[in-house]
Structure 1
């Protein structure tokens, strides 16, 4: 018997041991007088047994393994009792107890179905009754998040912060862990990453109109993929079974970017229908389509960490950058649910997202002959550079599965396919015009402003040096099949279950790029005045004229493209990595009065095949292939104890494993005998042992007060280092590669509070408050060779902020909704530039952003919205060593959005 099959065989053996046939079970559906079944997340309780379950899609609920007898059945949302009745459970029979609610109740209609409080309450209930530690964000009844994309919504979760690109939220960090060490799934299918070297998924490509809810899991159970050290993020899309009959929402929006004075449109349509057939079977079809086009820009000044800090504050070089950007997002989803009966359901979930990023960057790169102090002037070379490229990222995901209840057994299965790609069909990656000038300098170290003579601004003083042109296609494709089997039983007098299953995943990541360098121009006029446009509007000082991309394209289109191919760079940039993961798990759960215990283990076997190209010291291109195989046994234990009806204590020990990124593992390399740059296919996977302890107290509507302690022991974290001077690379000047570090640790505390202040007198009873803060610290050790000597030093984990926090003050009453949201993260280590010298480290400065959302319901179907993002015009700022030394400063300005939506149901 192979090693990888043993856990699954053990699980099957355990499932048949000591199982006692249940006496009976309860099932039903919650609806209201209008036929609405949008009561997912309602709490169904058997009061005498202290058994609680949450209603699922379409308001369905099921309580297995109930001893015969008479009980009190209660239905609550947010501690509000919606229904209570007596029921009788009979031996070996299933009781159907459909629940019809009175939709005329103002409390149910306004608080529990739509609005901020409803979103918060459903998320809190989901967290409260989960086996493990999660946080959730629910869209309202018509499938809308209060933020513009998934990333920006998730920044409101305790312990979660985001990385922004041009002011827009893109990547998500959980508890300070790099986005590469988190996983993202859509309807249970993992999303691969479109970018070439990374595993991180940019969540700004998923429009909010496609999302039903977002769940961040911080402590993994054995039935979950183990590839999340920070957290696992699940995106759940719309389901038609959450309503009865047809429903739809139309939305139109216009946004205004203050920085560029550009106005952009957005449109969305979502809806669905549920049909009940004469035999009682139900078919639900839900779909969504969204289109968003945004024109905006930013002004930037950056040094890239080129300060000479050996006793001076001199600067070697800096750049001014002006960005003009147009981003277009298209999203679509089409979901099918087929309910054969209460115990059998089939589903198909689909998602498509296209993100087109058209970026034009004009830069002045000033390189001083000698490092200069602020206010001084001297000779410098200036490169006026154009970058003009259009990248299209696409994501698609399909999940086909089913769920079946067979007496005390539950059988679930799913097949998933997902694919991401990034296509750069051809663009100018750099067109550089060079000039030499005297009397060049700068003023200020935090936001350097250019000092330049009049000759600097004359385009006739610049000559075209070369044009770099790039074509590239990156694809990341994944298929998976999983089977999960659950058996409910009694362990003595205590309800319990055993669950076991397996998953097979196959992933292929490929990169294919072509690099072209044009450096001879056949006598064409190549001074900048032949390519120059009008004066640029740049708010961080004097800049000069634009560069017209069409003029540069016209020049190179008339040249021999084949002769310009840089074959070495193109071949070395290509690779293919095949990753196979086979997993099996077993876990058990038992409820002993107020105590719930869940434990088990997961086994994962990983096989990697890596193919690339290297450039050796003789200048020859050679095939570079590698394999790497490893396996992991990952135990976990989760404990939940009810101190009272409203207070829970949780403890968890879980283990996770994350494979290195594709860039880090790439077998491609360059080696000219003095300098080398290479990936490391032999890298070990990152492993983390996670310990969590929390207490949660629930109060009233949308009420929660919680505190959570966490500690992570991380092995084999990966960092960039220089191995020149080591025994293997003696005689080299520079050898840049990746290596596994020693153990790293991360610890902290998360605090959260939320409450709807309905106890206040009118009109203040519409207020609600939500706040959270996370305080953490980390420690890691890295090493490099300096002059043949091994040097080590301690650092914080990159991307880990010591403090993150959110404050939301909301108001909703009489159809009016207002939300002011503040997000804060303290500074953090962004990049280790020189392992041997901490003065080269780049840090991102602390960042506070305010966003305002408002809405007014003209009728119960027609709503107006007005939002302001980045209300206080917070810039992005990164620095070298100390905050006064600029690495990058960028301004975006606020964005204003006005919209109107109409909902029919």
Structure 2
């Protein structure tokens, strides 16, 4: 009975993390098909829904069978893997695969990097159809995995090498997410469900995670249907330090020596050793402590309907719906250095001569500021697809597929209320401890009467992505050894985005009497807020916090009209036509068994981009063609050894936001970013070789070498100039911004992506899976799964280095140049390791996931590069079978309380933020019959 409980079908019926199907009973178990033995041919990844797994150990064996029998480089996770890792979403499940690393947002996995290539370089297909899960600020092609709970999916297949029959558009990998195949279920009714409570020890939030499944298969196997749903509601908190970057600036005075001919404003700069040294060193822009709170409500529903009217015909219709709501809040206690240095007196300071960093300082005449931001946003996703699989003869079959999806990201309100202290005062910071600095406000007050509302910002943002796909694939078995695949597809992808806002200073919006700087704060509009656990001990940690809702209502702020941001009204329509042929061969040569595929894929891309440039609507149309040959071979010298090789040409289209003629404008930091509709796709040649030794049942040692020679790659090109040189109208500048006060007060950074020279990325993947069946007693029920990836890459990026002349008329005059570094987003080392124990009643798993430091962007303010420090996450999962139909679970995420640790200026390692997210514990039950 115990083993029968663990057995379930990987299908749209029997799903993942929370709703894996508990077996019905011993009587049903004997009717179920058996997992492919170690020495038998496993089904292809496209057929993986028919595998039967009996617990975590057997799920590993099933995934290994898929990997072993594939000609190309493939890794898979089947349902039991997902079910028995305490993963909140699919990104966290994917990090178990060699070569896959994840990025986290607010403590939750949000995107993946495969072999050093980020989310924009990975193509994600949902039930065979490419799609994008949109958030309001997403203008790329990357898939936001946090939109979907892992509960809804039964398998993940990662294709690391290209085939002609595999969709183009990826340099990293093609990731297939599969939700169901109900015809592979047991006959009759299947019902499964789970319920958990989730607890976060940083904010003491307790939230539900509920999922369920109902499935039916006709006893004759002619039709089947399933529907599943997953719901979760919880709150995460990220608390700690933030600098908002580091920059150079000239101060009003240094140690009592004036730096200008007139104090506070106007006049000309007066050079002196102290003023020059302070100006050329780097100081934090807005040193602060605070917390970011994210309330998440996530609902997902999948459904599948299948018919098999004959043994040669199968019709499948599947649908997926997801809704992801976020209530986002930021609360910061800070002082404002950015753009205020001209008014600030530098009383005392310390400069590190090696890094030219002002590591500590006492400042006078500083503006104390408290900021509270609240956003409301939602993502809604629909997809429906239909597939007809028809065997026309014993040697010829065809598959016709059609589908559409739509994903909409909405942020109707992104509201920030800023209050300032009426009087300016002294402030001391000390970054001797980069992770936990000392930030102290002298003569600090928590009395609302000492503050006024000076700014209210409210922006709205909408993004929509749509996909339509029709494709035909045929398979003709020419001989017993050779099969010809021929097919083609038509796709249409649409992206559009709009923005608007009603941001303003209080005085600009409502008018102020002489001497008035804002709206008087009162007890009814504010409260005293204390920092959560954040390493801020000994700092100023209690603040008067404005109540956003109360202030907005008091001032009727939402009644003010929205002003559209015309520059952000943009869109792309992309149509692709593809065709391919591929030969699959399985044979022997001089007694050596081998399998290979070789083919050519042709794709024509037609692109139409629109946007606003210099206040005028602009549209650009273009098209380009790509021929993408590929070759994969797998050699089987022995039954336990597999040698692989692959070579292919691949391409990835530019990010959507980069293709529009419009762009974005930052009037607080004097930055303008334009798109470029004439960007070429990223093209590369990829090389792979690997060896895999399946030395025992369920065991594997593997090593793989790969290289990607990138021949074209978009890079950012930046120039320093005036706002007038951009051609943009001044109506885009908000009156409450620094640029609104002084349009040319600083040099503008004007950026645009251009076609770059490319580079090379190479790496090694190591893997080991070993069940300890050779050990005595209970130890024979333990095992290990682990892998490690090493990456090396050489790419050149355009950057700006620090200013060197403190007397420049427009300071800081950053110095343009280039930097040779690793590919952005790639960590040199990443690994994960899992130890597990499993018997008929009890299972326990612990998993470590490490990702090394990586640069994620070219820095601003002369910081060269920005990135994230290394992370090490520990997760655990335990399960006990109470009865054949009932299991209790206990799971833990981020048990090390790993911080979100970001830096700027790679050589100096200056902190950009250091924030913890807390540990997550989950307890629940699973039932099924």
TM range, smaller chain:
0.7 to 0.9
Give the CA deviation at 1:228: 1.1
1:227 partnered with 2:169: yes
TM-score (norm: length of structure 1): 0.84
1:815 partnered with 2:848: no
Partner of 1:901: 926
Equivalent residue in structure 2 for 1:293, among 212, 226, 233:
233
Distance 1:647 1:163 in 2: 34
Q: Secondary structure at the match of 2:826?
A: coil
Equivalent residue in structure 1 for 2:206, among 245, 248, 263:
263
Is the alpha carbon distance of 1:416 and 1:858 closer, same or farther for their aligned partners in structure 2, counting shifts above 3 Å?
Answer: same
Partner of 1:802: 828
Is the alpha carbon distance of 1:782 and 1:478 closer, same or farther for their aligned partners in structure 2, counting shifts above 3 Å?
Answer: same
Q: Which runs of 5+ in 2 are unaligned?
A: 1-24, 249-277, 350-357, 513-517, 728-746, 802-812
Equivalent residue in structure 1 for 2:470, among 451, 472, 481:
481
Q: Secondary structure at the match of 2:63?
A: helix
Give the CA deviation at 1:522: 6.0
Distance 2:844 2:671 in 1: 58
Q: Secondary structure at the match of 2:296?
A: strand
Deviates further, 798-807 or 372-381: 372-381
Give the CA deviation at 1:884: 5.2
What are the superposed Cα offsets for residues 271-294 of structure 1, whole Å, 9 maximum, x if unpaired? 3110134xxx51111111111001
1:42 partnered with 2:36: yes
Deviates further, 524-533 or 319-328: 524-533
Contact 1:807 1:822 in 2 (8 A): yes
Distance 1:128 1:473 in 2: 45
Equivalent residue in structure 1 for 2:566, among 568, 571, 581:
571
Is the alpha carbon distance of 1:56 and 1:314 closer, same or farther for their aligned partners in structure 2, counting shifts above 3 Å?
Answer: closer
Equivalent residue in structure 2 for 1:184, among 124, 134, 159:
124
What are the superposed Cα offsets for residues 819-864 of structure 1, whole Å, 9 maximum, x if unpaired? 10000011011221159x5x43112111100001111111121000
Q: Secondary structure at the match of 2:28?
A: coil
Partner of 1:846: 870
What are the superposed Cα offsets for residues 539-571 of structure 1, whole Å, 9 maximum, x if unpaired? 332141332122122034367512xx334xx21
Distance 2:752 2:49 in 1: 53
1:552 partnered with 2:547: no
Contact 2:585 2:596 in 1 (8 A): yes
Partner of 1:780: 795
Partner of 1:709: 705
Distance 1:825 1:299 in 2: 21
Q: Which runs of structure 2 are paired with 1:660-809 in the superposition (5 Å)?
A: 660-669=654-663, 676-724=672-720, 733-783=748-798, 791-809=817-835
Residues matched between the structures, number:
802
Deviates further, 267-276 or 519-528: 519-528
Deviates further, 544-553 or 158-167: 544-553
Distance 1:788 1:305 in 2: 16
Q: Secondary structure at the match of 1:897?
A: strand
Is the alpha carbon distance of 1:656 and 1:121 closer, same or farther for their aligned partners in structure 2, counting shifts above 3 Å?
Answer: same
Is the alpha carbon distance of 1:705 and 1:323 closer, same or farther for their aligned partners in structure 2, counting shifts above 3 Å?
Answer: same
Distance 1:382 1:194 in 2: 37
Give the CA deviation at 1:146: 4.7
Equivalent residue in structure 1 for 2:154, among 205, 209, 212:
212
What are the superposed Cα offsets for residues 416-469 of structure 1, whole Å, 9 maximum, x if unpaired? 111111111234155454655322121223322311123354433332222111
Q: Secondary structure at the match of 1:745?
A: strand
Give the CA deviation at 1:324: 2.3
Partner of 2:730: none
Give the CA deviation at 1:238: 2.5
What are the superposed Cα offsets for residues 696-751 of structure 1, whole Å, 9 maximum, x if unpaired? 1113332111000000012322232313479x979985321112221121100000
Is the alpha carbon distance of 1:385 and 1:658 closer, same or farther for their aligned partners in structure 2, counting shifts above 3 Å?
Answer: same
Give the CA deviation at 1:172: 0.8
Give the CA deviation at 1:178: 1.2
Partner of 2:185: 243
Contact 1:238 1:335 in 2 (8 A): yes
Q: Secondary structure at the match of 1:552?
A: helix
Is the alpha carbon distance of 1:314 and 1:759 closer, same or farther for their aligned partners in structure 2, counting shifts above 3 Å?
Answer: same
Equivalent residue in structure 2 for 1:633, among 627, 637, 650:
627
What are the superposed Cα offsets for residues 119-169 of structure 1, whole Å, 9 maximum, x if unpaired? 211111111111210110011299676522111000111010101011101
Partner of 1:392: 378
Distance 1:480 1:250 in 2: 33
Give the CA deviation at 1:346: 0.6
Partner of 1:421: 408
Q: Secondary structure at the match of 1:454?
A: coil
Greater fraction strand? 1
Q: Secondary structure at the match of 1:717?
A: strand
Contact 1:255 1:264 in 2 (8 A): yes
Distance 1:374 1:318 in 2: 12
Contact 2:791 2:829 in 1 (8 A): yes
Partner of 1:377: 362
Over aligned residue pairs, what C-alpha RMSD do you find? 2.9
Contact 2:86 2:893 in 1 (8 A): no
Partner of 2:87: 147
Equivalent residue in structure 1 for 2:581, among 579, 583, 586:
586
Q: Secondary structure at the match of 1:140?
A: helix
Contact 1:254 1:898 in 2 (8 A): yes
Q: Secondary structure at the match of 1:699?
A: coil
Contact 2:88 2:108 in 1 (8 A): no
Give the CA deviation at 1:43: 5.8
Distance 2:247 2:386 in 1: 55
Give the CA deviation at 1:781: 1.1
TM-score (norm: length of structure 2): 0.82
Distance 2:528 2:420 in 1: 17
Distance 1:818 1:258 in 2: 22
Partner of 1:503: 489
Is the alpha carbon distance of 1:271 and 1:141 closer, same or farther for their aligned partners in structure 2, counting shifts above 3 Å?
Answer: farther
Contact 1:238 1:287 in 2 (8 A): no
Contact 1:320 1:543 in 2 (8 A): no
Distance 1:655 1:561 in 2: 54
Give the CA deviation at 1:316: 3.9
Equivalent residue in structure 1 for 2:104, among 150, 154, 164:
164
Contact 1:467 1:518 in 2 (8 A): yes
Equivalent residue in structure 2 for 1:876, among 886, 900, 908:
900
Contact 1:189 1:398 in 2 (8 A): no
Give the CA deviation at 1:882: 4.6
Q: Which runs of 5+ in 1 are unaligned?
A: 1-30, 61-76, 78-111
Give the CA deviation at 1:351: 0.9
Equivalent residue in structure 2 for 1:521, among 487, 490, 510:
510
Give the CA deviation at 1:44: 10
Is the alpha carbon distance of 1:719 and 1:39 closer, same or farther for their aligned partners in structure 2, counting shifts above 3 Å?
Answer: farther
Deviates further, 194-203 or 208-217: 194-203
Contact 2:370 2:544 in 1 (8 A): no
What are the superposed Cα offsets for residues 194-241 of structure 1, whole Å, 9 maximum, x if unpaired? 134121111122112211100111001111111111111110112222
Q: Secondary structure at the match of 1:204?
A: helix
Contact 1:697 1:706 in 2 (8 A): yes
Distance 2:716 2:419 in 1: 29
Q: Secondary structure at the match of 1:122?
A: helix
Q: Secondary structure at the match of 2:183?
A: helix
Give the CA deviation at 1:760: 1.2
Contact 1:434 1:465 in 2 (8 A): no
Give the CA deviation at 1:360: 1.2
Distance 1:206 1:852 in 2: 21
Distance 1:446 1:142 in 2: 34
Distance 2:922 2:416 in 1: 33
What are the superposed Cα offsets for residues 360-391 of structure 1, whole Å, 9 maximum, x if unpaired? 11123423335754443112223321211111
